[in-house]
Amino acid sequence: MSPRAAGVALLLFTSFGWGSTWPVLKLVFAEIPPFSARALTAYLACLLLLAAARLRGEALWPPRAVWPRLPLAAFLNVTCWMAPTTLALLYLTAAEIAIVAAIMPVWATLLGALLLREALTPARLLALLLGLGGVLALFAGEARAPGAGQLPGVLLMLCATFLFALGAVLMKRAPLALPPVAAIFWQMSLGCLPLPLAALALEAPAWQEVTRTGWLAVLWMVMVPISSCYLAWFAALRRLPASAAALGTLLSPVIGVAAAALMLGEPVGGRELAALAMTGAAILIAARAGGGRA
């Protein structure tokens, strides 16, 4: 398999896993307070990543030269995603948050052009416009224009997507000199530190009342969106331009809306299907345009 084909396959897996995040988190939050749930899933995923690093024989301790950059990578790639999105889920539905999250490729495309000198080719611009058109179709079909009650969630998601895109572009420009699993383990471990602190200060979870559905949802979050998808995302970044990789994640809102409909009963109509077609076209164009830099 060519590096580009492998990158596309990794992106598809990442999009599926991250698209499922929002409805699954809604199920988790129904039984476990938000920061407690996020801290639990994050650090269980850290244990899984630690075991994977050991099985792969990776050197876990970062070299001295990596330490100055590791906190910034953890902050942008983990803290700035986990904390704002956790709060945003208190204001938005699962479908709404999946849709707003799809603004990330816009930031990544612009930042990639600014910081990595990646060309804004006609194909990438077409993919971006098609993807954004799909997102707009989803938003029109699923949610009204943000009102006062939704605005904090939208602003939180815009901040989260911008900073995550910045982290992706910076990682593309100067990757951490660490084995892949160890890199995710350290970013997750450091980046999630605010979560248990917030949980201890603000929440009192009733662990004995969590149902089997709640624990299964926790297990899914640990195994797929947090650990496996982070590994797949950074592996895709090594094989594709940052803008093309970010465009590939436009499938996530479609999956998020579909999963929200299946799991939470949120409606799906003709506009959602139109968005799926537009987003699929965007991914195919982005994949074909993702072979190089200019």
* Mean pLDDT of the 128-148 span: 61
pLDDT value at 160 more than 60? yes
3-state helix, strand, coil in the chain (%, to 5): 80, 0, 20
Contacts of 107 by beta carbon, 8 Å cutoff, 6+ apart:
161, 162, 165, 166, 246
CA pair distance 139, 147, nearest whole angstrom: 13
What's the pLDDT tens digit per position in 33-84? 999 999 999 999 999 989 988 888 888 899 999 999 999 999 999 999 999 9
Which helix (H) or strand (E) segment holds residue 157: the answer is: helix 151-173
CA pair distance 247, 253, nearest whole angstrom: 12
How many other CB atoms are there within 10 angstroms of residue 129's CB atom? 13
CA pair distance 274, 45, nearest whole angstrom: 35
The pLDDT of residue 291 = 46
CB 236 within 8 A of CB 245: yes
The residue extents of the domains of the chain are 3-57+65-289
CA pair distance 11, 3, nearest whole angstrom: 12
Comparing 141 with 149, the larger pLDDT belongs to 149
Task: Name the pTM for this structure.
Answer: 0.78
| Strands (E) located in 45-184 | none
User: What's phi and psi for 123, nearest 5 deg?
Assistant: -65, -45
The pLDDT of residue 196 = 95
The pLDDT of residue 122 = 82
CA pair distance 267, 201, nearest whole angstrom: 37
CA pair distance 251, 135, nearest whole angstrom: 10
The pLDDT of residue 144 = 47
Q: Which two tokens stand for residue 42?
A: 């994050």
* Mean pLDDT of the 169-176 span: 86
The pLDDT of residue 67 = 92
* Mean pLDDT of the 250-263 span: 83
Ranked by mean pLDDT, the top range of 51-65, 91-105, 115-129 is 51-65
CA pair distance 233, 249, nearest whole angstrom: 9
Q: Which two tokens stand for residue 89?
A: 């889920």
DSSP assignment of 194-258, as one string? HHHHHHHHH----GGG--HHHHHHHHHHIIIIIIIHHHHHHHHHHHS-HHHHHHHTTHHHHHHHH
What's the pLDDT tens digit per position in 181-199? 898 899 999 999 999 999 9
pLDDT value at 112 more than 90? no
- Structure confidence at residue 285 as a pLDDT band (50, 70, 90): confident
What's the pLDDT tens digit per position in 198-232? 999 999 999 999 999 999 999 999 999 988 887 88
Residue 150 CA, chain-centre distance (Å), reads: 20
* Mean pLDDT of the 242-253 span: 69
- Structure confidence at residue 3 as a pLDDT band (50, 70, 90): confident
Report percent pLDDT > 90 for the chain. Answer: 35
* Mean pLDDT of the 146-162 span: 78
- Structure confidence at residue 290 as a pLDDT band (50, 70, 90): low
- Structure confidence at residue 244 as a pLDDT band (50, 70, 90): low
